[in-house]
Structure 1
Amino acid sequence: MKRRRFTSALALVATSFIAGCAHRTGANGAFPAEAQWNGRLALKVQTEPPQAFSADFELGGSPQSGLLVFFTPLGTAAARLQWAPGVATLLADGETRHFDSLAALAQQATGAELPVRALFDWLNGQATEVPGWTVDLSRLEQGRLQAARAAGAFPAVDLRIVLQR
């Protein structure tokens, strides 16, 4: 029994140490404060089989030029999406992939066509319309945004964002 408590305590200390060494190196600081967001993002895509993704994130920039970083539970970067006019890159699993557009990059990174350009408007409180999508900004003051695409020509998508205050 003593050995089990010691092992559990040792595991807790090791986990705390590893988590303490983790650090974020994301978008914040590289863009003006009004063009930066961080929090938690959850995405569900109703493909066969359904796909679900959830992670902490930092987003900075605009639809023209920006950076989106997804983090692991320990706080290290899991994926880094960066774009500028004429170039879009995805860095994940130690591999860099290049894309022709932000839309193609988002499709590859998430498995769904996302209205990335409108997302920046939504985060700024503007209910920009996107065909097939509905957005709920009623709780944006509390840091919550929800957008959905109904099933049809494309799979249904549910996007939820909780911003950190």
Structure 2
Amino acid sequence: MESFTTRRHIRMSDADIYGNVHNLSMIRYAEDTAVELARKLQHEHGIESYWGIADIQAGFTMPLPWTTSEVELSLHAEKVGRASLTLLTRITSEHGTHATVKTRVIRFDSTGNRAAITPEERAQYSRYLADSSQPAGRVLARSRA
């Protein structure tokens, strides 16, 4: 199993009134990580896909102080379907794991119609499939986008 990992600097504007990164900001971090993976695959392999979010579920395990300089985002594909991907992103810092965000995205063609994942895309996204013998993490709260 391969993971796509990136880092994100925390901005003061990401914080809530209690000085912690707002939960919605952490969901945005996960969404941005999925976009970065799609751009990487486009750049490296010429895979150009159009994705729309169908569902987001997020579990928050501990507050993330905005004074933390950066977080690590680790993305795995939980499932590669016929026309959808289920992505699992863990948000961690030196304090531990702060959130796990599960996102299901649907593939569209350039005209906006739902489209099947091509064999080339399937091969690339399958590299990131999580080992099914490992627990995926507990999703604690559900949010619709």
Q: TM-score when scaled to structure 2?
A: 0.27
Q: Which has the larger radius of gyration?
A: 1
Whose RCO is larger (CA < 8 A, sep 6+)? 2
Q: TM-score when scaled to structure 1?
A: 0.25
